[in-house]
Amino acid sequence: MRLLVIGAGALGGYYGARVVQAGGDVTFLVRAKRAEQLRRDGLQVVSPHGNFAVKPKVVMADDLKDAFDVVLVGVKAYSLDDAMSQFAPAVGDSTMILPILNGLKHIDALTARFGASRVLGGLANVSAGLDAEGRVVQFMANQTIVFGEIEGALSERALALETLLHVSGIDVRASEAIMQDMWEKFVQLTTLAGITCLMRASIGDILAVPNGEQAIFRLFAECCAVATASGFEPRAPFIEFDRKLFTTLDSPLKASMLRDIERGSVTEAEHILGDMANRARGLGIDTPLLDLARAHVAAYEIGRQRAAG
């Protein structure tokens, strides 16, 4: 199967590099500056599982002509519209589009543009970013990717994709309930992003202050209520996993949204915090802590835009 990875940032760069490392047929759709860097230095990954580098095949949007079997979309939500226009020539009648963006809103955008039959649901759990040298740096050992048909059930194409991605360095699973999985990830991410951005601190530091743990779980409860009212009540194993995740003392865990703020970059706040808050309003659910976190990051964005002129 021919795989087109959109971008070579933290998500696409990590998973795409792992498939290349295993001998897969992978091409990265990148901009000219990134293409030059990758051709010169290779795609380098710094990982707790061992550092490595690959020589990737790259293509730029103007040179994209042929359809691919799979398009892996791992861009930031605010870049999705541009990305869809760029990779559209790679989408054929049987192409699978696998988005591993944060949140849920992108599913509607992709299905509206390319048709529901081409779009899978998907999520990724990897803590990674790009450093100043353009290397993909994996901060923690997790490296999961989960996907499936939005309507449920396991399809032959999903199982074929599971085989493609079943390589060293990727914990892959084809799911019969991907929307349930995505909603649980949405709850987890919104809680993590909301509390770490609001407090401008890691989970470990938040736990170290008075009422820190209570604040984390108040926000978690708000997000769980929205999921439940939407028909996707979080399951017991997920609740237990997140309870451990959010009570690990000295944990360095923080959301990528907070890392964006620390760099002075644009965030995905409205795609994550805003979308969850809007869904809550539509369901008549009160989410005061979520609303405060959303307002906090929105105020940051106003200041960032003003400083940028």
* Number of other CB atoms surrounding residue 304 within 10 Å: 15
CA distance 278 to 268: 15
**Amino acid identity, position 109:** A
The catalytic residue among 55, 185, 244, 254 is 185
CA distance 210 to 218: 14
Query: H/E/C letters for each residue in 206-246?
Result: HHCCCCHHHHHHHHHHHHHHHHHHCCCCCCHHHHHHHHHHC
- Two structure tokens written together for 210: 């008075």
- Two structure tokens written together for 256: 């990528």
Residues 6+ apart with CB under 8 A from 138: 14, 45, 46, 47, 48, 49, 126, 127, 128
Please say if 57 is a catalytic residue: no
Report the catalytic residues.
185
